[in-house]
Amino acid sequence: MAYRQRRERLRSILNGRACIRPGSVYDATSIRIAEDLGFELGMFGGSVASLVVLGDPDVALITLTELAEQMRRMSRASTLPVLVDADHGYGNALNVRRTVQELEAAGAAGLTIEDTLLPQAFGQSGTQLIPLEEGVGKMKAALDGRGDPSLVVMGRTGAVSVSGLDDAIARAKAYEATGVDALFFTGIRNREELEAISAATSLPIVLGGVPEEMIALDYLAGQRVRIALQGHAPFAAATQAVYETLKALREGTSPKNLKRLASSELTGRAMRDIDMNARASEFLGLKKP
Ligand SMILES: O=C([O-])CC(=O)C(=O)O
Ligand SMILES: [Mg+2]
């Protein structure tokens, strides 16, 4: 499916009336599994990108090239639309523009640009934000970097739990005025904060993690939330499975006695082996197994 259609699918989620939960995806296999399970959207989180590519925590060490390459692998493997966490856009507003170009070329359906000061500044503990005006420049640069106007650009802020609700609203309104397609909020702690933000803005809302009292999708949909993230459990599950398997092997368990491995049927589906066998038959003259 052409990238443009993937982007239109993300736009239809944003322009719809329901709130969906994306599948957390991070490589060619995970995105295919999410697609097969019927997820409407994949979320490629920066934290997971850092873990899967570098094995490092989410402290802005991954490069744009590495992020885009992982996105490109997923785009090749699956047609599921993916929303990419592009962090701060890998530098200043000019870097943001380049980031958008690279992620667009890598097949992202949408991306978020946030106003967090990254990487962590010298001698400053805790999250800091860039000034609102700089955030506005980044959003404008992101929109300017788009070659395909269907690519979804989201303005993201975690201001509500850093500098407070009023600042979060001021930033959201300023980003909205630049022409971004949606607003992405992190750090919202309760219904009052969400309702105030929703009332003050008009774009579709995406939430990066919400407290338990707010998880009902119909409540969120009523606040114009169209996408609600729910963390990155698939990568944590994969880490646990690798740990248990290596531990069992190290302790002498025979490979045939290992528990909870993917069946050959599941692995075959993830590898799209029906398609590959058909190609081998058609292009290599091999018999279908
Ligand atoms: O975008 C997300 O999924 C949340 C986030 O910032 C991350 O995981 O890095
Ligand atoms: Mg992130």
Tell me the DSSP string of 246-284: HHHHHTT--GGG-SSPPPHHHHHHHTTHHHHHHHHHHHH
Report pLDDT digits (tens) over 96-152. 999 999 999 999 999 999 999 999 999 999 999 999 999 999 999 999 999 999 999
Q: Of the candidates 271, 234, 282, which has an alpha carbon nearest to the alpha carbon of residue 51?
A: 234
- Alpha-helical (H) ranges within 146-263 are 165-178, 191-200, 217-222, 233-250
Ligand 1 pocket test target in 26, 84, 85, 157 with most atoms within 8 Å of CB: 85
CB-based contact 61:110 (threshold 8 Å): no
pLDDT, mean of residues 71-100: 98
Residue 278, C-beta contacts closer than 8 angstroms, at least 6 positions apart: 288
| Mean pLDDT value across residues 187-198 | 97
Q: Determine the CATH number of domain 3-236.
A: 3.20.20.60
Would you say 6 is a known binding-site residue?
Answer: no
Q: pLDDT band at residue 288, thresholds of 50, 70 and 90?
A: low
Q: How confident is the model at residue 286 (pLDDT cuts 50, 70, 90)?
A: confident
Ligand nearest to the CA of 51: 1
State if residue 229 touches ligand 1 by the CB under 6 angstroms criterion. Answer: yes
pLDDT one-digit tens code per residue, 20-53 = 999 999 999 999 999 999 999 999 999 999 999 9
Q: Is 46 in the pocket of ligand 1 (CB under 6 A)?
A: yes
- Rounded Cα distance, 154 and 185, in Å: 10
Q: Which sequence spans correspond to the domains of the chain?
A: 3-236, 259-289
30 annotated to a ligand binding site: no
Q: Is the dihedral of CA 113, 115, 116, 121 positive or negative?
A: positive
* Ligand with the closest atom to the CA of 48: 1
Ligand 1, atom 1, residue with closest C-alpha = 45
Q: ipTM more than 0.85?
A: yes
The percent helix, strand, coil of the chain (3-state, each to 5) is: 50, 10, 35
pTM of the model: 0.97
- Distance separating alpha carbons of residues 227 and 270, to the nearest angstrom: 26
Give, using CA atoms, the residue closest to atom 3 of ligand 1: 45
User: What is the position in ligand 1's atom list of the atom closest to the CA of 114?
Assistant: 6
Q: Is 47 marked as binding a ligand?
A: yes
**87 has binding-site annotation:** no
Mean pLDDT of 240-246: 98
pLDDT of residue 79: 98
Residue 45 Cα to ligand 2 midpoint, Å, equals 6
Are 187 and 115 spatial neighbours (Cβ–Cβ below 8 Å)? no
Q: Which residues touch 34 (CB under 8 Å, ≥6 apart)?
A: 23, 25, 42, 78, 80
Query: From ligand 1's centre to the CA of 111, what distance in Å?
Result: 11
